């Protein structure tokens, strides 16, 4: 489990730094979706599913982004939709909220918002999605090591990491 947490943290940090590239963002979205889906599966965290689902979805989304690059507009919409839903599930998990069917309705709303953002503000939406996905993966990985990184502290850490990544990719740290 410690190796899995380290990999999730490393992937999160990597996405925070260079995540606005389609293949890297696709891998991060797949991993985040896999982690979000794991909370719905019965069993403990030492199960093989804790490796298969996030790693498999990360690989699938990354390979899909590479293979179907010709369909870039469809892929960006799909990544926006999945990222929106995965972000909602991750935030609910971060806050320790489990509302059953309402979780899926909120994830669907997040998916719709992700698609709208990608259509309207493609460049900035990719930057924002990469920042949120990277921050959520990093925070989720840290939660596996330090359980205190939940609730308010986890949310604050996620917002700070996402904000820093957004500012970095948005060019706010460049000298004029």
As to burial, measured by CB atoms within 10 angstroms (0-12 exposed, 13-18 middle, 19+ buried), residue 7 is middle
72 vs 129, more confident: 129
Side-chain half-sphere CA neighbours of 157 within 13 A: 22
Domain ranges of the chain: 2-169
Lowest-pLDDT choice from 118-122, 146-150, 156-160: 146-150
For residue 165, what pLDDT band results from cuts at 50, 70 and 90? very high
pLDDT in tens, 52-69: 888 888 889 888 888 877
pLDDT at 95 over 60: yes
Q: Cα–Cα distance between 18 and 130 in angstroms, integer?
A: 8
CA distance 27 to 75: 13
Q: What is the mean pLDDT of residues 2-7?
A: 84
Cα separation, 119 vs 79, whole angstroms: 11
């Amino acid at each position: 489990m410690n190796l899995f947490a380290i990999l999730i943290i490393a992937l999160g940090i990597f996405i925070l730094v260079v995540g606005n590239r389609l293949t890297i963002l696709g891998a991060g979205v797949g991993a985040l979706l896999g982690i979000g889906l794991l909370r719905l599966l019965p069993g403990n965290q030492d199960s093989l599913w804790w490796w298969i689902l996030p790693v498999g979805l990360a690989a699938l989304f990354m390979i899909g982004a590479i293979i179907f690059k010709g369909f870039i507009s469809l892929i960006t919409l799909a990544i926006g939709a999945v990222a929106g839903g995965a972000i909602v599930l991750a935030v609910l998990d971060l806050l320790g909220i489990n509302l059953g069917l309402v979780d899926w309705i909120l994830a669907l709303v997040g998916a719709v918002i992700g698609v709208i953002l990608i259509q309207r503000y493609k460049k900035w939406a990719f930057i924002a999605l990469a920042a949120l996905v990277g921050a959520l993966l990093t925070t989720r990985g840290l939660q596996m090591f330090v359980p205190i990184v939940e609730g308010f502290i986890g949310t604050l850490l996620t917002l700070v990491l996402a904000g820093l990544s957004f500012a970095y990719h948005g060019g706010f740290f460049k000298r004029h």
